[in-house]
Structure 1
Amino acid sequence: MANSAWLLEQVSVNLVSLVLVCIVIASVIQGAVRGASGSAQRFMQFAAEGVATVVSVVVAWKLADTLSPQLQSWLVAKRIVIPNEEIGFFQQMLYTFVTGVRDFPLLRVGTVFAIAYLACKTILVRLWLFIALRTGLLGSIGSASRSWMSSGVGGAIGSLIGCGRALLLIACLFVYTALYPETPFTNYVKSSGLYMQGATQVIEPVGGELLASRLPVFAKAVGDEFNHILQRKYEVIDARIPSDIAEAAKQIAAPHAGDEAKAKALYQWVGSRVQYDYDKVQLYEEKRIWKEQSPEETFATRKGVCIDYSRLYAVMARSVGLDVKVVTGLGYDGQGGYGPHAWNEVYLADSKEWVPLDSTWMSSGGNWFDPPGFDKTHIRDA
């Protein structure tokens, strides 16, 4: 986006303003071609769709707010259990989505909102079309008069439609600038006089301040929840626990009593038995080839990278009754920076808390089972 903004800056005419002008001119030409009757019909359609959109948004928001808790209760009552067997890609996606709707509020509200919005707008548009056809509001455009006066009136009506379309584009750009206020493209957009007129005189008075203050917060919340959903996929694809892994985990945990002792024993086993696969990292860094592997492959080869350590630990921990998560984010690289990393969080029922652990780093030395300052070297995505 930065390079695109630089290229745009080399053009003397602001392309945002140019696009806005072209939208209006194109609408004027369309109106003149349609004539007064055809343009009037198109204007009514445009206005009807606008009203239907606003009404649908309001209705869908109210329904989402009302039905979201009921949907969650219904899904919880269903007691959805991911099968302990090999499942296909589409089943993985289905379980990830359904359990995500059950557990993540923004996804649940968004799903209900989208369904309600589409249903409501479809009904309203079809109802308007039915009424318009029955009352003769939508006649034959081709039979409309093409006199100079008709074309002039049609062009005037087209200009109104064009202004409406331009304002829609300005609203979209306003949302972008609110979400990314410091980007070069945002600065370029704000250098457009036409954009600034529409944004300051129409969008901001209607709801610009609310959008500018709430959108970044909402976008961050959506991003955080999306990362949770991405992490959920590991729970789905690793739901099947191979018998050899389960047996090994039970033998490791058997001499220990309590969740913490079992969790720590598994952490030490994974961290000391699995070797870091530098060849896998090199293959990705040099050739961009990612070698995806299952916990079963990691257990068999005793080699892997951070995500492989974390997935194997999660499967072993679940096989002895522990509640565990695979967490993705950034890990300190020891040189003043951070890089992509994965680790685990395990729930200790005795203390009723989630504690972090990093079996990958344990293999390099040190204690990384809930040490002080863990969050200073590990920054989770969500």
Structure 2
Amino acid sequence: MEWIRAGTVWEPVSLIVLLLLLGSLLQGMRRGASGSARRLFFFVWDGILIIICLVLAGQIAGSLSPRAADWLSAHVEIPQRELSATSQAWYTFITSLRDFALLRYGILFLAAYLLLRFVASFLSPLLETLFASRQRPGRHESIERLPGGGAASRAAGAVFGTVHGAGRAFVFVAALFIYVSLSPNGIGSGLIQQSPLYMKASAVLEPVAGDMLADRGPVLAEAVQAEFQNVLQRKYEIVDYNIPAGIEQAALQITKDKTTEEEKARALYDWLGSRIAYDWDKADNYVENGIWKEQNPQDTFDTRKGVCIDVARLYAVMARASGLEVKVVTGTGLDGRGGSGPHAWNEVQIGGKNGTWIPLDATWASSGDWFNSPGFEATHILAT
């Protein structure tokens, strides 16, 4: 009765479960007893095949991953020449596959699983043929031709269909349980956890997989996020493969195809905004412990990390090397949500000595376009 009461609270999870049950019940009535029984059998059979393929794919990926790493290390080398966009994408992928274990395992796992599923897809037609060959025509009179047989067949089909629907509903709720366990603050997680039916089902699933997901889920999620960041960084490493190690030479390389002062300023803004990561450890160490890690523009350029003043100083050095007049500006940055703090950015002169000074903030580039953007002064308050 508790499950029935939970299922009759009309919210998205229970409605989807109800639709799965009703849809399967109606399909069962339409197909009759034999058709529904066959569908239920192949539903269970397909579930077993999925589990087997997942386990085998994991074993294959684990075995091939170190061998693939050795082979790629011996055969993959970035050419010493200017790379096209297609070549940059290829070498980003192939070197990431070579160097990042989680990505390599994931690709091999997916490839192995798809191959195993393709092979397994030939088993179901064989079983269908076997079933058909065992049904001898004329051996039994069709149940639909017997008095009340059609109704009996539909009733039995409805029962088989309902069981099939219950299996579908279980898979659906289990998928929700995995999603909420791995991403408790994700999109829709709060709405899912408000469902009485989901909470009843999660109480059943918790002893089975809850502890494993609670222990390994967040670790796996963090590892995937870190791997994704590594791939993004590798993309920029490939794009910048021919960027010189010296700041001035790098600035000239970045702006070599730009003709106007604004184009050069924008190119440097885009490059620093996508290459220099914000050093949260440095910022937190200063706020919490009062310890400031001083670094010069070369340190920021080499480590690709820094806080706002470091990014602004590096931008200034690169801009001057490109022939631009530039300033490092300090003041207060407003985040638009009531927060504020000390901040640094740049101003570049466009149009010669009597030209206009335009503001830009490469540190904030990942959050939007802060190159001479409208309303820049509303969020960047000059120190007085």
TM-score normalised over the length of structure 1: 0.64
- The residue type paired with residue 77 of structure 2 is I
RMSD of aligned residue pairs (Cα, Å): 3.7
Whether 1:71 and 2:49 are equivalent positions in the alignment is: no
2:175 maps to what in 1? 172
Note the alpha carbon deviations across 1:160-218, whole angstroms, 9 max, x for none. Answer: 111111111112211221233246832321222221222221x2233122113311221
Q: Secondary structure at the match of 2:188?
A: helix
1:97 maps to what in 2? 93
1:9 maps to what in 2? none
Residues 46 and 161, structure 1, Cα contact 8 Å, conserved in 2: yes
2:213 maps to what in 1? 211
1:224 maps to what in 2? 226
Q: What runs of 5+ residues in structure 1 fail to find an aligned partner?
A: 1-11, 242-248, 250-262, 275-292, 312-325, 337-342, 348-353, 367-377
Q: Distance in 2 between matches of 1:130 and 1:76?
A: 43
Note the alpha carbon deviations across 1:94-124, whole angstroms, 9 max, x for none. Answer: 2221111111111100001001111112212
Paired residue for 2:271, among 304, 308, 325?
Answer: 308
Residues 57 and 110, structure 2, Cα contact 8 Å, conserved in 1: yes
Whether 1:58 and 2:20 are equivalent positions in the alignment is: no
- Give 1:45 deviation, angstroms: 1.4
Structure 1 residues 183 and 81 mapped into 2: Cα distance closer, same or farther (>3 Å)? closer
Whether 1:41 and 2:38 are equivalent positions in the alignment is: yes
2:235 maps to what in 1? 233
Paired residue for 1:185, among 182, 185, 188?
Answer: 188
- Give 1:298 deviation, angstroms: 6.1
- The residue type paired with residue 175 of structure 1 is I
Q: Secondary structure at the match of 2:78?
A: coil
2:128 maps to what in 1? 132
Q: Secondary structure at the match of 2:88?
A: helix
Q: Distance in 2 between matches of 1:229 and 1:152?
A: 56
Larger radius of gyration: 2
- Give 1:365 deviation, angstroms: 5.2
Q: Distance in 2 between matches of 1:209 and 1:137?
A: 47
Q: Distance in 2 between matches of 1:309 and 1:77?
A: 33
Q: Distance in 2 between matches of 1:168 and 1:111?
A: 25
Paired residue for 2:21, among 21, 24, 33?
Answer: 24
- The residue type paired with residue 105 of structure 1 is A
- Give 1:355 deviation, angstroms: 7.8
Residues 276 and 311, structure 2, Cα contact 8 Å, conserved in 1: no
Q: Distance in 2 between matches of 1:95 and 1:329?
A: 26
Q: Distance in 1 between matches of 2:98 and 2:187?
A: 39
Residues 28 and 156, structure 1, Cα contact 8 Å, conserved in 2: yes
Note the alpha carbon deviations across 1:36-75, whole angstroms, 9 max, x for none. Answer: 1111111121111101100011011111111111110010
Residues 37 and 144, structure 1, Cα contact 8 Å, conserved in 2: no
Q: Distance in 1 between matches of 2:255 and 2:103?
A: 28
- Give 1:361 deviation, angstroms: 3.0
- Give 1:299 deviation, angstroms: 9.4
Alignment of 1:273-312 (within 5 A): 296-297=256-257, 302-304=264-266, 305-309=268-272
Alignment of 1:325-344 (within 5 A): 326-329=275-278
Q: Distance in 2 between matches of 1:166 and 1:224?
A: 34
2:84 maps to what in 1? 87
Q: Distance in 2 between matches of 1:329 and 1:222?
A: 20
Q: Distance in 1 between matches of 2:300 and 2:159?
A: 64
Structure 1 residues 80 and 310 mapped into 2: Cα distance closer, same or farther (>3 Å)? farther
Whether 1:157 and 2:163 are equivalent positions in the alignment is: no
- Give 1:233 deviation, angstroms: 1.5
Q: Secondary structure at the match of 2:235?
A: helix
Q: What runs of 5+ residues in structure 2 fail to find an aligned partner?
A: 1-8, 137-141, 288-297, 317-326, 330-362, 367-384
2:357 maps to what in 1? none
Count of residues paired in the alignment: 283
Whether 1:361 and 2:324 are equivalent positions in the alignment is: no
Whether 1:148 and 2:143 are equivalent positions in the alignment is: no
TM-score normalised over the length of structure 2: 0.63
Residues 306 and 360, structure 1, Cα contact 8 Å, conserved in 2: no
Alignment of 1:193-272 (within 5 A): 193-201=196-204, 203-239=205-241, 266-267=246-247, 269=248
- The residue type paired with residue 123 of structure 1 is V
- Give 1:33 deviation, angstroms: 0.7
Q: Secondary structure at the match of 2:82?
A: coil
- Give 1:238 deviation, angstroms: 3.6
Q: Secondary structure at the match of 2:10?
A: coil
Q: Distance in 1 between matches of 2:133 and 2:45?
A: 12
Q: Distance in 2 between matches of 1:329 and 1:47?
A: 50
Residues 180 and 186, structure 1, Cα contact 8 Å, conserved in 2: yes
- Give 1:23 deviation, angstroms: 0.8
